[in-house]
C-alpha cells in the first residue's frame, strides 16, 4: 500500500519509522513545510510528492499528525480535494463528540476515518528506547490499520470508544496504581 504522512514532525516520523516498509511505501508533501520537517523526511527516507493534492491522489491511507489547529485545516483540504482513501487522525486532540464530528465530516464525503491515540516518546527523543509505545485505534477499519505497523513496536489496542478517551482511561488507571 501507499501510505502518506501529513506531516513529518517528530511524531509523524515516529509513525513512519514504525510502518512495515517491506510491503508499504511512505510518502509526504514538502510544499509549505519547514526545513526541519524536510530534513526529518530525508532522514527517514520518505518519498516527496511535493503537494498534498499529489499525496492524496497517490496514497491509500493517510496519517494526519499536525498541531495547533492543523487537523481541522487538513480535514477540510482532504474533503475539498475529494480523497477516497482512509484517513488516520493521530492528533489526540479530540474527545468523543469531536471524534464523531470528524468521523461525520469524512463519512459525508465517502472518506473512511480512524482515530488513533498514542503513548510514547518521539523517535528522536533520548527516552525513546526506554519507553513502551502504546497505540489505541478506533474506527471500523482499525484492524486494517493495526496490520500496517511492524510487530513489537507498538502495543496496539482496538477500542470501540474514541481512541483519545481510551488513552485517557488507561493513563488515569495506570496513575492510580
At 56, list the grid cell. 492524496
pLDDT on residue 134: 86
Which pLDDT score, from 0 to 100, does residue 54 have? Answer: 97
123 Cβ neighbours under 8 A, 6+ residues apart: 10, 13, 14, 17
Residues of the chain with pLDDT under 50: 95, 97, 176-177
Domain at 132, CATH number: 3.40.50.720
3-state helix, strand, coil in the chain (%, to 5): 40, 20, 40
- What pLDDT was estimated at residue 7? 86
The count of structural domains within the chain is 1
Q: Write down the pLDDT at residue 91.
A: 75
Q: Give me the pLDDT at residue 128, please.
A: 57
pLDDT at 86: 97
Structural domain boundaries enclosing 116: 2-176
| Residue 112 near residue 122, CB atoms below 8 Å | no
Whole-number pLDDT of residue 151 = 80
Prior bond of 7 cis (ω within 30°): yes
pLDDT at 177: 45
Q: What is the pLDDT of residue 167?
A: 73
C-beta contacts of 106-112 below 8 A and 24+ residues apart: 106/75, 106/78, 106/79, 109/79, 109/82, 110/84, 111/78, 111/79, 111/83, 111/84, 111/85, 111/86, 111/87, 112/85, 112/86, 112/87, 112/139, 112/140, 112/141
pLDDT given for residue 163 in this prediction: 76
What's the confidence (pLDDT) of residue 95? Answer: 47
Amino acid at each position: 500500500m501507499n501510505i502518506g504522512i501529513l506531516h513529518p514532525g517528530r511524531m509523524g516520523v515516529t509513525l513512519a519509522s514504525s510502518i512495515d516498509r517491506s510491503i508499504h511505501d511512505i510518502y509526504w508533501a514538502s510544499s509549505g513545510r519547514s526545513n526541519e520537517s524536510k530534513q526529518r523526511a530525508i532522514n527517514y527516507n520518505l518519498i516527496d510528492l511535493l503537494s498534498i493534492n499529489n499525496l492524496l491522489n497517490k496514497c491509500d491511507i493517510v496519517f494526519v499528525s499536525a498541531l495547533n489547529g492543523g487537523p481541522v485545516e487538513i480535514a477540510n483540504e482532504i474533503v475539498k480535494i475529494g480523497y477516497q482513501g482512509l484517513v488516520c487522525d493521530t492528533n489526540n486532540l479530540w474527545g468523543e463528540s469531536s471524534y464523531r464530528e470528524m468521523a461525520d465530516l469524512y463519512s459525508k464525503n465517502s472518506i473512511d476515518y480512524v482515530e488513533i491515540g498514542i503513548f510514547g516518546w518521539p523517535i528522536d527523543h533520548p527516552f525513546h528506547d526506554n519507553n513502551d509505545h502504546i497505540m489505541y485505534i478506533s474506527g471500523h477499519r482499525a484492524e486494517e490499520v493495526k496490520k500496517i505497523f511492524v510487530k513489537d513496536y507498538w502495543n496496539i489496542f482496538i477500542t470501540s470508544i474514541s481512541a483519545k478517551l481510551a488513552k485517557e482511561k488507561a493513563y488515569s488507571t495506570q496513575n492510580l496504581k
